[in-house]
Chains A and B, each alone.
Chain A
Amino acid sequence: MKGIVFNLLEEFITSMLGEEKYEEIVAGCDLKTKEPFVGPGTYPDEDLFAIVGKTVAVSGIALPDALRGFGRFCFPRLAEKFPVFVTAHNHPKPFLKSVETVIHVEVKKLYPDAVLPSFTYDNPAPDRLIMRYSSKRRLCHLMEGLIDGVAEYYKTPIRRRQTKCLLEGGNECEFELSFG
Chain B
Amino acid sequence: MKEEILEKKLERERQKVNILEKMIEDRTRELYIVNEYLQNINNSMADTLIVVNPDGTIRSANRAALNMLGYTEDELRGKDIETLFEKGVGTGPSGFGRQDSAARSETTCVTKAGRNIPVILSRSTMKDLDGAVLGVVCLALDISERKKTEEKLRKAYDEIKATQDASLSIMEDMEIQRKKLEATVREKDALMSQVERANKELQDFAYIVSHDLKAPLRAIGTISSWIAEDYKDKLDDAGREQLFVLLQRTKRMHDMIEGILQYSRVGRIKGTPETIDTGKVAEQVREALSSPANMQIKIHAPMPAIFIDPVQINQIIQNLISNAIKYMDKPEGLVEVGCRDAGEFWEFYVKDNGPGIEEKHFERIFQIFQTLKARDEFESTGIGLTIVKKIIEQSGGRVWVESEVGNGSTFKFTIPKGTTPPTSLPPL
- Is B188's CB within 8 Å of the partner chain A? no
* B23–A40 touching, CB < 8 Å: yes
Q: Which residues of B contact A102 (CB under 8 A)?
A: 130
- Is A41's CB within 8 Å of the partner chain B? yes
With A35-B15, A36-B15 as given contacts, are A23 and B8 in contact (CB-CB < 8 Å)?
yes
Q: Which residues of A contact B9 (CB under 8 A)?
A: 19
Q: Give the CA-CA distance A19 to B1 in the complex, in Å.
A: 11
Partner of B5 from A20, A40, A105 at Cβ < 8 Å: A20
Q: Give the CA-CA distance A20 to B3 in the complex, in Å.
A: 11
Q: Give the CA-CA distance A158 to B113 in the complex, in Å.
A: 69
- Is B16's CB within 8 Å of the partner chain A? yes
Please give the distance in Å from B358's CB to the nearest CB on chain A.
127
Please give the distance in Å from B13's CB to the nearest CB on chain A.
8
* B1–A20 touching, CB < 8 Å: yes
Partner of B20 from A19, A20, A40, A109 at Cβ < 8 Å: A40
Q: Which residues of B contact A40 (CB under 8 A)?
A: 20, 23
B165-187: contact bitstring with A at CB < 8 Å (1 yes, 0 no)?
00000000000000000000000
Q: Give the CA-CA distance A41 to B20 in the complex, in Å.
A: 9
Q: Which residues of B contact A23 (CB under 8 A)?
A: 5, 8
Partner of B129 from A20, A35, A105 at Cβ < 8 Å: A105
User: Which residues of chain A from 92 to 120 have any CB-CB distance to chain B below 8 Å in the complex?
Assistant: 102, 105, 109
Q: Give the CA-CA distance A36 to B13 in the complex, in Å.
A: 8
* B1–A38 touching, CB < 8 Å: no
Q: Give the CA-CA distance A71 to B404 in the complex, in Å.
A: 147
Main DSSP-derived SS at the A contact region: helix
Q: Which residues of A contact B130 (CB under 8 A)?
A: 102
* A36–B19 touching, CB < 8 Å: yes
Q: Which residues of B contact A38 (CB under 8 A)?
A: 16, 19-20, 23
Q: Give the CA-CA distance A6 to B130 in the complex, in Å.
A: 30
Q: Which residues of A contact B16 (CB under 8 A)?
A: 36, 38
Q: Which residues of A contact B20 (CB under 8 A)?
A: 38, 40
B1-43: contact bitstring with A at CB < 8 Å (1 yes, 0 no)?
1100100110011011001100100000000000000000000
Q: Which residues of B contact A36 (CB under 8 A)?
A: 12-13, 15-16, 19
Please give the distance in Å from A14's CB to the nearest CB on chain B.
10
A26-66: contact bitstring with B at CB < 8 Å (1 yes, 0 no)?
00000000011010110000000000000000000000000
Please give the distance in Å from A22's CB to the nearest CB on chain B.
9
Q: Give the CA-CA distance A38 to B5 in the complex, in Å.
A: 19
Q: Give the CA-CA distance A40 to B23 in the complex, in Å.
A: 8
User: Which residues of chain A from 107 to 156 have any CB-CB distance to chain B below 8 Å in the complex?
Assistant: 109
Q: Give the CA-CA distance A32 to B99 in the complex, in Å.
A: 53
* A35–B19 touching, CB < 8 Å: yes
Q: Give the CA-CA distance A136 to B235 in the complex, in Å.
A: 169
Q: Which residues of A contact B12 (CB under 8 A)?
A: 36
* A19–B23 touching, CB < 8 Å: no
Please give the distance in Å from A99's CB to the nearest CB on chain B.
15
Q: Which residues of A contact B23 (CB under 8 A)?
A: 38, 40-41
Q: Give the CA-CA distance A35 to B15 in the complex, in Å.
A: 8
Q: Give the CA-CA distance A38 to B16 in the complex, in Å.
A: 6
Q: Give the CA-CA distance A146 to B46 in the complex, in Å.
A: 53
Please give the distance in Å from B145's CB to the nearest CB on chain A.
43
Q: 7 shortest A-B CB distances, which residue pairs?
A: A36-B12, A36-B16, A38-B19, A38-B16, A36-B15, A38-B20, A19-B5
Can you list 17 A-B contacts (CB < 8 A)? Answer: A19-B5, A19-B9, A20-B1, A20-B5, A23-B5, A23-B8, A36-B12, A36-B16, A36-B19, A38-B16, A38-B19, A38-B20, A38-B23, A41-B19, A41-B23, A102-B130, A109-B129
Question: Can you name 12 extra interface pairs (CB under 8 A) apart from A36-B15, A38-B20, A40-B23?
Answer: A19-B5, A19-B9, A20-B1, A23-B5, A35-B15, A36-B12, A36-B16, A36-B19, A38-B16, A38-B23, A105-B129, A109-B129
Report A's interface with B, CB cutoff 8 A.
19-20, 23, 35-36, 38, 40-41, 102, 105, 109
